[in-house]
Structure 1
Amino acid sequence: MKIKATLDRIPGGMMVVPLLVGACINTFAPNALRIGGFTEALFVNSSSTLIALFLLIAGTQITFKTAGSSVGKGVTLLVFKWAIGALLGLIAIMFADSNGLFLGLAPLAIIAAMTNSNGGLYIALAGQYGKEDDKAAYPFLALSDGPFLTMVALSIFGAMGFANGMFSPMSFVAVLLPLLVGVVIGNLDRDMADWLHKGSDKLVPFFAFSLGMGINFSSIIQGGLSGILLGVMTVLITGGIGFLLFRAIGWNPIVGASEGSTAGNAVGTPAAILAANASFAPIAELATVQIAASVVTTAILLPIFIGFLSKRLEKSGGVAKYNNPTS
């Protein structure tokens, strides 16, 4: 049975197939693997640990000379994604109907879904299509986790003020530290770095499956067509602009497109915003289900979109020309 050969023929197969299998199990038999012990630890709860290890290994391939490119890519991804989400949110606020909705979408949902990306999905896609400094850009993307950047956008628009506790510097340090440990190891001993790097790709299907165990397809039904629309917009607009931006700069455009997703933790943003400002009560519940639908939609659609873009790039040399040591 040619499992690996089959997965290799599917765009992003090593990531998207395990993720979808995990999501199917979580949707239709959620307790099948939640039996405790090593089974639950590996197949349900391992994503954070494996992503941290993946990040540490990526760090071993970063020299102090090339660290600047990781910072540049990470900051660029963070800023452009926030700017797009904030701008579209402002447009939605300006042209909202009498119910406070734009195309059936709550502006709060648009901002939260489009500014907060799925880090695990980014790591998997950057791991397959990018190089080490692309993976090492991830800690800067973690700054978008939670409601902080959504609150920044709403505050700029005059919709609300800041609230304490919306951003934790220590959370950023906690994400960055595994990468820094890897950088230190790699710069102290290249043999150790090479040994660690040999196994990094094998982590992808395992943490992708675990990520899938956090996805429930019923979220698409609850969010309705408007939630699906939000997911499609997130992939095509933020992913598409990321592709064009990175290509214009001369970086791997597939990595730029890999930001076109919505993170699972964005689902909690409306509740956090509501706790800070009660005026969002009428739309907080609707925004929550729309964001949840976007999470699932982007998790399914983004790898397919990335596969399509990768095929298009093959006509001009593919991603390999962006992944050589001089780029």
Structure 2
Amino acid sequence: MQIKKTIERIPGGLMLVPLLLGALCKTFAPGAGAYFGSFTNGLISGTVPILSVWFFCMGATISLRATGTVLRKSGNLVIVKALVAWGATFVAATFLPIGGVEAGLFAGFSALAICSAMDMTNGGLYAAVMQQYGSKEEAGAFVLMSIESGPLVSMFILGSAGVASFEPHVFVGAVLPFLIGFALGNIDPDLKEFFGKGVQTLIPFFGFALGNGIDLHVILQTGLGGILLGVIVIIITGVPLMLADKFIGGGNGTAGLAASSTAGAAVANPMIIAAMVPELAPAAASATALVATSCLITAILVPILTGIWANHMKKRTGVPAEEVALTAGPTPAKPV
């Protein structure tokens, strides 16, 4: 049986399939962890420990050795996306209840859900799309995007938007495993390779643990809302990212559109942040379901939309899509 290959055919499958299995466990056997105890309970309820190890391994894979083009591209996209997420979170905090909308099409929408869905880019998806439609330098921009992984950026956004307050030592605690991994990975290439192997391996484990915090009834209630959130993420973050890629990064907008997704790792943020800020706990379960759906929707739509845009630019410039980013400047090329 080719279980892994089958799962990988699903966008974000390594995260979403275990998450769904965990949600099934939570829905139909909510007391399974307590009943079995020991290591089984650890797998079911160990979201934070598993994620902390994953975050450490992720840090070890980030290299300081990157070209100026890669840093310019990735830095531009990361900063713009964070700023857009901050603006959307601020608006959501102003008009939405802190515990989330309770009914209707926007059920579950909250500042926590919107921040988590918008502030992290699916780096793997971005790299794969840009390898096909962009330059090698643009594809390499996913390196700095990995720094977004984890709750730190979400914590900064939520704190500065007035949604929650975090003590300085909490910020340090959130990023310390990443920084230690980052330091070790850059000091010793062997450690970088060693710990880097754990990044993909741990995804199904924390996906399953996350799923055990979700009742499927919540997913059913937020299904349409999650689809809507995914579309909103692409529009609200995609347009500014495309403009930034064109006028700051020197591209043609393709890289910006490719970065307008929700990262699979973002699914973990609502639960982690709610554990730090109890007043956000009522919004955490629905926010997790919404972000998981948004991750799936953007994983499907972003490659399609990016391909359409890249082919459109190819027709306008008359050069292959992978060369467009290198030839497009601040002024749009004239049609041929």
> TM-score when scaled to structure 1?
0.67
Task: Please name the residue that 1:113 is paired with.
Answer: 113
Residue 246 of structure 1: how far off its partner (Å): 3.7
CA distance in 2, matches of 1:168, 1:195: 33
The match for 1:240 is 235
Q: How has the CA–CA distance of structure 1 residues 3 and 220 changed in structure 2, closer, same or farther, with 3 Å as cutoff? A: closer
Count, aligned residues: 277
**Which amino acid letter does the alignment assign opposite residue 40 of structure 2?**
T
**C-alpha contact (below 8 Å) 2:262/2:291 kept by paired residues:** no
Deviation at 1:18, TM superposition (A): 0.7
1:38 and 2:39 are equivalent in the alignment: yes
Q: Which residue of 2 aligns with 1:190?
A: 189
The whole-number CA distance in structure 2 between the counterparts of 1:308 and 1:257 is: 9
Taking the aligned partners of 2:226 and 2:287, their CA distance within structure 1 comes to 4
Q: Is the counterpart of residue 143 in structure 1 residue 159 in structure 2? A: no
> Aligned partners of 1:173 and 1:269: how far apart in 2?
13
Q: After the TM superposition, which residues 104-253 of structure 1 pair with which residues of structure 2 at under 5 Å, given as runs?
A: 110-117=110-117, 125-126=122-123, 130=127, 131-139=142-150, 140-144=152-156, 148-149=159-160, 151=162, 166-220=165-219, 230-250=225-245, 251=255, 253=257
CA contact (8 A) 2:18 2:204 kept: yes
2:267 aligned with 1:272, yes or no?
A: no
Hey, what does 1:281 align to over in structure 2?
none
Distance 2:88 2:242 in 1: 17
Distance in 2, matches of 1:228 and 1:37, equals 34
Q: Give the whole-Å Cα distance in 1 for the aligned partners of 2:58 and 2:274.
A: 29
In the alignment, residue 147 of structure 2 is paired with which amino acid? Answer: A
Paired-residue identity, %: 24
Secondary structure of the 2:45 match is: coil
Partner of 1:300: 293
CA, structure 1 residues 149+29, in 2 after alignment: closer, same or farther (shift >3 Å)? farther
Q: 1:220 Cα shift?
A: 5.0
Q: Secondary structure at the match of 2:162?
A: helix
The equivalent residue for 2:262 is 258
1:134, 1:255 within 8 Å by CA — same for their partners in 2?
no
Q: Distance in 1 between matches of 2:161 and 2:297?
A: 27
SS of the equivalent of 2:15 reads: helix
CA-atom RMSD in angstroms? 4.2
Aligned-pair CA distance for 1:126: 3.6
Distance 2:290 2:56 in 1: 29
CA distance in 2, matches of 1:258, 1:244: 15
Q: 1:253 to 1:134 in 2, by over 3 A?
A: farther
Contact 1:108 1:270 in 2 (8 A): no
Kept in 2, the 8 Å contact 1:57–1:200? The answer is: yes
1:102 CA drift (Å)? 12
Q: Give the drift of 1:142.
A: 3.7
Instruction: Go from structure 1 to structure 2 and tell me whether the alpha carbon gap of 1:170 and 1:21 turns closer, same or farther (over 3 Å shift).
Output: same
Equivalent residue, structure 1, for 2:13? 13
Aligned twin of 1:276: none
TM-score normalised according to structure 2 size: 0.65
Question: Residues of 2 paired with 1:33 and 1:103: CA distance?
Answer: 31
